[in-house]
Amino acid sequence: MEELRIHNIQEIKKEKPKSKKKTILGVFLVLVLIVLGFWIFQNIASGSISKTFNSNEFIQFAVADKSYAYSYYDQGNWYVNIKGKILGPYDSSIIYLAISNSNYGFSYFKEGKAYVNIKGKILGPYSDIMSLSVSDKGYVFSYFDQGKRYVQTKDKTYGPYENVSALAISNKAFGFVYSQSENAWYVNISGEEFGPYTDPIFYLSVSDTNYGFSYFKNGKMEIKAKDKTYGPYDDVGRISVSNKSFGFSYFNRNSNQWIVNINNKDVGFFDEVSELIVSDNNYGFICQKQGLWNVQIKDKEYGPYDLANRLFIFDNNVGFAYQKNGEFYFSLNPKE
């Protein structure tokens, strides 16, 4: 009946012309809502959210260009959150956690043995897992078993070795550092070997088209890239490569400072540089100034903090952990 009465009133009353301003405003608001909804959907789908996690919300954290993951503890069990998808429970903590845009991996213990979960595929058991990294098309991890160390890729097991000190992977390449004695270290880049080097090599980075690692030579340090050698330097810290960028930190004994170099350009001078990462169109590093730590992401600086680590840098996502006023946090895509 109510609908009928309204209809009759409309028939009796002379219909007023609709306001053009109200119509335009209504159309504008609809367009704004559509654009906003699309933006939110795209950010959620790509993993590009902005959030600060408290220490009670995570244990491990990993970030990729369009994804993220973290492990956490809840009511006596451990879980893994892969961009909103919950895996678990597990009886032990998650030791290593790695993620790419469409792949993930993590290690855990069960009944005294170590296992690796690569996107639902369980590998193991092993005595221990020492490191783990994944890409969209593969994975690499090092493990300890029966007194020896091995490197496992998607297609092959390498080893046994006495030591494995670093590993890295991209969609088309992988690399790791190993030794069979204390004075003979080798770098394996997708099956191509470099060495021996007399001193350990701790920093290694690979991309589809490039790689980088540092080594001692004649009392100095040099950096080996695919098509170029950098140095010599008094000391070399972190090294990072992407398909389009190359970055590293080095020490100048005369100035007693660490220097960050991005694509052959020095971008800063610091008391210490603890982490550094480049992507094709972005870069970031963690540096110390006057006893406090700052996170530099291109032209933006975050901090100072009592402590900062766990740096992740990609074109779309960035993240880092920090300590401030006695509390620990992880910042994913900080706004300011």
Model's pTM, two decimal places? 0.84
Q: Residue 209: its pLDDT value, please? A: 97
Q: Residue 336: its pLDDT value, please? A: 64
End-to-end CA distance of the chain: 57
Please report whether residue 117 resides in a domain. Answer: no
> Which pair of tokens denotes residue 308?
């900062």
Instruction: Please report where in the chains the tokens 């405003």 appear, as a residue.
Output: 25
Q: Are 143 and 152 in contact (CB under 8 A)?
A: yes
Domain with 269 in it: 20-68+135-332
Please report whether residue 107 resides in a domain. Answer: no
Q: Residue 325: its pLDDT value, please? A: 92
Please report whether residue 6 resides in a domain. Answer: no
Q: How far apart are CA 11 and CA 291, in angstroms?
A: 80
Q: Where residue 259 sits, what CATH number does that domain have?
A: 2.120.10
Q: Which residues of 131-144 are buried (b: 16+ CB within 10 A; e: fewer)?
A: bbbbbeebbbbbbb
Q: How far apart are CA 260 and CA 252, in angstroms?
A: 11
> Which pair of tokens denotes residue 243?
């398909």
Name residues of the chain where pLDDT drops below 50. 1-18, 21-22, 25-47
Please report whether residue 102 resides in a domain. Answer: no
Q: Residue 23: its pLDDT value, please? A: 52
Please report whether residue 114 resides in a domain. Answer: no
Q: Residue 55: its pLDDT value, please? A: 85
Please report whether residue 46 resides in a domain. Answer: yes
pLDDT tens readout for residues 291-329: 999 999 999 999 999 999 999 999 999 999 999 999 999
Of residues 322, 225, 312, the one with CA closest to residue 264: 225
Please report whether residue 188 resides in a domain. Answer: yes
Please report whether residue 12 resides in a domain. Answer: no
| DSSP structure class, residue 29 | H
- Total of domains in the chain: 1
**Sequence-ordered list of residues with C-beta below 8 angstroms from that of 120, at least 6 positions apart, any chain:** none
